[in-house]
Structures are given as C-alpha cells and as structure tokens.
Amino acid sequence: MIATMSVGSRYKRVAQEVAAQCQACDRDASEVTVLAVSKTVGLEEVQEAIDAGACAFGENRPDELMRKAQAFPDVAWHFIGNIQSRRIKDIVAYADLIHSVYKPEHLAKIDAAAAEHNTCQSILLEVNVSGEESKSGLAPKDVFSVLKASFAFSHLCVVGLMTMAPRNGAEVIDETFSGLRSLQQTLQAACLDEGIDHPLPVLSMGMTEDWPEAIAEGSTIVRIGRAIFDDAFE
C-alpha cells in the first residue's frame, strides 16, 4: 500500500513548483503568493499547511472564513466566494482581501462595513474574461466604470483583478490570462489619462489545473486547493 503525502509535504511541493515556474519565467518567486484554498478542510489541515510555511488561505463561505480566521489570526485570510449582501459585514470583519467583487451595489456596503472597523478593505474586481455564461464577473468593457465608482469610497481600495479560466483547452486558458493582464495595463493607462495614479498590482488567476500558465502571464496570486489538501492528488 502506497502512503499518501501529508498536507505539509504537498504544500512544500507546490511552493517549490511555483518557485521553479517563476524562475523559468524570469520572475522572482516573492512576486507570487500561493493561496492555500482551505474551503474543503478543517482546522487540523490548516495547521499542517501553516507548519509547512503557508501564510495565506482562501475561503468561499463566510462562516468558514470566520471560524478559521478566529482560530488562526496570524495568517492572511482571503474571501474567494460569491458575495451575499447580508454577509458583507462578516466577510469584511475577517478578510484581508476580497477577490470576488463584481456587483457595483456591493461597493457602498463593503465601504460601510470597513468604516465600522476603521479600516480600508482591499478588494479585487472579478472579471469574466472568457465570457462564459456559467461564470460570474464583470465584462471587461464594464470594469473601468466600476473601478472609477470605487474612488468615491474612502474605506475600500481596488488593488487588482481576478478571473477564472475555462477548462476547455490550453489556448483558451492562455487567452483568458493574457486578457486579464492586458486589461490591467489598459485600466492603469486609462486612470493616468484622467489624472489618476491608481496602480493595480494584484492579479489573482490560476488554480490547481492551470497555475503555471497563469504565472507565465503575470499572476501574483495562485489559488491552489486540491494540490495541497486532497489526498487523491499525488
């Protein structure tokens, strides 16, 4: 019987592979955060990943975000799931970064929740680069207007963009990631044209199946769950 790798061993393997891909792409490994997506596991597995060096985790449900962030307050917690208006206060209370903002009406609610904590909430705008009907997110043509709308709020800051690639071929995956990187550059230039210096340094793209391609296109956060926490993933 072949023994399965531990969570810690899998995390270290992923971190090494990410560092190697960064080197292959002439990038510094410090530019890319491995976000350990812990949505399917409990506190014990999170602790194992922390012991192996993980310092940032992603959750897609507010209750799990709250539970795990309370248990492990010394690591970063990101919210990567669908945002329900009634749970925004809970998300803002514990999320260092929210990846999945795409509804303009959520901006004011996030700002108000952050004001209650006397903080500035970092967020990413979720973009549906591929145009898949099954995926959430802003159409690329609508992102600039939402970005500009965010400037009216003093307790939130758009620090970058997030997308998910379809699973139907390497070419489409590459086009999705390169499309987000191109949009990042277009938005930064559009801001400068209006006299606004607003860099968008964060690109959250790439998951277990496609993170190498994402790093090649400039990703700064790769969201990896199964390759770290799934015993079946060897």
Encode burial over 35-46: b for 16+ CB neighbours within 10 A, e otherwise. Answer: bbbbbebeeebb
pLDDT at 2: 54
Please check whether residue 124 lies inside any domain of the structure. Answer: yes
Domain that holds residue 151: 7-229
Please check whether residue 14 lies inside any domain of the structure. Answer: yes
Please check whether residue 204 lies inside any domain of the structure. Answer: yes
pLDDT at 131: 87
pLDDT at 234: 62
Q: Which amino acid is at 226?
A: R
* CA–CA distances in Å: residue 102 to residues 16, 87, 140, 182: 33, 15, 11, 18
pLDDT at 51: 98
Please check whether residue 2 lies inside any domain of the structure. Answer: no
Give mean pLDDT in consecutive 10-residue pieces for the chain, a chain of 234 residues.
80 97 97 97 98 98 98 98 97 98 98 97 97 90 98 98 90 95 97 95 96 97 96 74
Instruction: Write down the residue that tokens 């596991």 correspond to.
Output: 41
DSSP 85: G
Cα–Cα distance between 199 and 169 in angstroms, integer? 31
pLDDT at 134: 81
Give the predicted TM-score (pTM) of the model.
0.96
Please check whether residue 1 lies inside any domain of the structure. Answer: no
Residues 6+ apart with CB under 8 A from 160: 124, 125, 184, 200, 201, 202, 203, 204, 220
Residue 106 maps to which CATH number?
3.20.20.10
Containing 224, the helix (H) or strand (E) segment is: strand 221-224
Please check whether residue 90 lies inside any domain of the structure. Answer: yes
Q: In DSSP terms, which residues pair with 127 in a beta bridge?
A: 138
DSSP 2: P
Domain count of the chain?
Answer: 1
pLDDT at 1: 43
pLDDT at 199: 94
Please check whether residue 234 lies inside any domain of the structure. Answer: no
Q: Give the strand pairing for 202-204 and 97-101.
A: unpaired
SS3 at position 198: coil
pLDDT at 135: 86
Cα–Cα distance between 85 and 177 in angstroms, integer? 29
